[in-house]
């Protein structure tokens, strides 16, 4: 049994030095939040080309990841710093695989893909080299699709069920992003419930 440590949402806000608005600035809420196929109700997603949608409805991070980054950056990072919707107590995203499921009494999530660092994240962290650091750290968090709508709240107990097939881990997806993979790996990726964009790229 694991626990939902934090539920985070954000409004569209301008990014310092940029002309566009972003939903990356998320803060924890104690209130119960409705979760449906598009994500958390009231949570701003501005760049629909790269973020959000049913295949990336919820972005999660493990509490172990957040603690590691706090130590790495020398300051306490609050839940929501990376734009994550959920922080899962005791979870380490290095060991999360596509197809793993997180289930509360109300909501059922399935991991589909990993987070790839972008210019918005780099600007948010105030470090031009942060995308490279993020890639090297191999603690990218994970996107989920929503298999069962419901409500979610900080403190909710949850069950974590690993995918029963050959694992495709988040660090592996991060490492192979935009690269050709072997035929053996391609078939393993396709055997897992990966997101539609990645599936199309592997079958195109």
User: The domain spanning residue 41 has which CATH number?
Assistant: 2.40.33.20
Residue 58 and residue 10: Cα distance in Å, rounded?
A: 13
Q: How confident is the model at residue 1 (pLDDT cuts 50, 70, 90)?
A: confident
pLDDT digits (tens, 9 = 90+) for 41-75: 999 876 666 667 899 999 999 999 999 999 999 99
Residue 153: give the domain boundaries: 2-203
pLDDT at 157: 98
Mean pLDDT across the stretch 26-50?
Answer: 88
Would you give the DSSP letter of residue 51? S
From residue 196, alpha-carbon distances to 63, 165, 172, 203 in Å are: 28, 18, 18, 10
Q: Which helix (H) or strand (E) holds 144?
A: strand 142-148
pTM here is 0.95
**Number of structural domains, the chain?**
1
- Give the residue, 18 or 148, on which the prediction is more confident: 148
């Amino acid at each position: 049994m694991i626990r939902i440590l934090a539920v985070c949402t954000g409004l569209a806000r301008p990014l310092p030095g940029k002309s566009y608005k972003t939903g990356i600035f998320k803060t924890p809420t104690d209130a119960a939040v409705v979760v449906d196929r598009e994500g958390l109700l009231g949570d701003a997603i501005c760049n629909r080309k790269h973020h959000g949608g049913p295949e990336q409805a919820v972005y999660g991070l493990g509490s172990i990841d957040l603690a590691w980054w706090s130590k790495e950056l020398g300051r306490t990072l609050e839940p929501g710093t990376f734009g994550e919707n959920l922080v899962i107590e005791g979870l380490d995203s290095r060991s999360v695989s596509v197809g793993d499921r997180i289930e509360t009494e109300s909501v059922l999530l399935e991991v589909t893909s990993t987070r790839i660092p972008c210019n918005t994240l780099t600007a948010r962290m105030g470090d031009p080299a942060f995308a490279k650091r993020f890639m090297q750290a191999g603690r990218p968090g994970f996107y989920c699709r929503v298999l069962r709508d419901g409500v979610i709240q900080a403190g909710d107990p949850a069950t974590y069920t690993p995918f029963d097939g050959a694992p495709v881990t988040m660090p592996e997806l991060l490492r192979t992003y935009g690269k050709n993979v072997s035929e053996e790996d391609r078939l393993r990726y396709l055997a897992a419930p990966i997101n539609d964009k990645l599936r199309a790229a592997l079958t195109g």
